[in-house]
Amino acid sequence: MLLVNQIRENYAQVLAGLQKRNIPNVETILEQLVALDDLRKSTQSQRDQIQAEANTISKQIGSLMKEGKADEASAIRERTAEIKVQIKELDEQNAKAEEDLKALLYTIPNVPHTSVPTGKSAEDNEVVLSHGEIPALFEGKLPHWELIKKYDIIDFDLGVKITGAGFPVYKGKGARLQRALINFFLDQALAAGYLEVQPPILVNEDSGYGTGQLPDKEGQMYFASADNLYLIPTAEVPLTNLYRDVILNETDLPVKNVGYTPCFRREAGSWGAHVRGLNRLHQFDKVEIVQITHPDQSYEALESMSSYVQGLLQKLELPYRVLRLCGGDMGFTSALTYDMEVFSAAQERWLEVSSVSNFETYQTNRLKLRFKGEDKKAQLAHSLNGSALALPRIVAAILENNQTPEGILMPKVLQPYLGFDKI
């Protein structure tokens, strides 16, 4: 959530940034927000003045009673009753103004960083770099949805039988590949200085609001209505909410956590080859990295996280590219996002496997996540997160890119985890 003072003090910069997101009537929205803030301040000011009058009258009444002037004191008390009614009305007006202001702030996304390119869709994203050679496969290559049937390692039909579309069953070497990737990603994160955390996969409403999934993505999350809990769309939600309403010491920064969880997303339902097989699922596994940093160090941390994820892809020997997302394709809460895409040689297309984002103070303002330095003044930290990595499309690329007429070769770095080198 944006800070009101940030908007008021940097109005032109905020407006220009939000215009990169192609938000209709954004200037009108900001004007409404400033007007609500003015109303809130004006109401509070009136309330403070009347309260000051009430305090003065209370002292006068005490003095008059000591002097034996009960009649005069009684006359002044009539004004006290009027003041109580006025204060109640102003408190109600102020509470409504604050509620309306907060509700409007929830509808405004984060302001993009100055380096974010202007654009409306994924076609306008900026390619930052590319790495690796695209493999030349043999004639008769198969997409992963055919390979998994051929080698009987992932079964979508069983998933439909048990649950529904988008919930695959991994078995045999398919299940072992999943486990190997999870352990590999966790071990790599631990070596890079991250603390492993195993969080809950159900979160409450406050957690959803804290990281910005609510109210923006409410329809995309699975909801357990009996308990008012949400299945997590990513480990970002519980890992970041560990620090909701927490004041850290500056010496504790940066906080670096990693967690493996299953993830659940309702939006996976469109048709076409681009969402076929493992390309888009309702349930999938992911290892997530989260950092809480000093504001002066968050963009250095973002570059470090991007390099770390690229290192994983290099070790898996997958060709990839890094994109800087344009304003129209960014997530609601992000100030700057890098997407990592691997090339799927059988599908002959790029598949997104990771997003690494800096949210600056957008999440920490909602979370009231602060830190104190030597001056003992609390200020908002910056939060960042990244997929390191999401498994489905990584598995798809490994299967497709490494297929041979004799089987599918496994990346060398995974073989100690797998106990085999080929499917």
Among residues of the chain, what percentage have pLDDT more than 70? 98
pLDDT tens digits for range 187-201? 999 999 999 999 999
* Among the listed residues 189, 194, 164, the one whose alpha carbon sits nearest the alpha carbon of residue 268: 164
Calculate ∠ Cα 125-233-106, nearest 5°.
Answer: 75
Distance CA(396)–CA(181), nearest Å, equals 13
Spatial neighbors of 374 by CB under 8 A, at least 6 apart, are 250
For the chain, which domains are there?
4-106 (1.10.287.40), 122-418 (3.30.930.10)
The pLDDT of residue 148 = 98
Average predicted confidence (pLDDT) for the chain: 95
Note the pLDDT of residue 273. Answer: 55
pTM of the full structure: 0.92
pLDDT at residue 421 tops 70:
yes
The H or E element that residue 69 is part of is: none
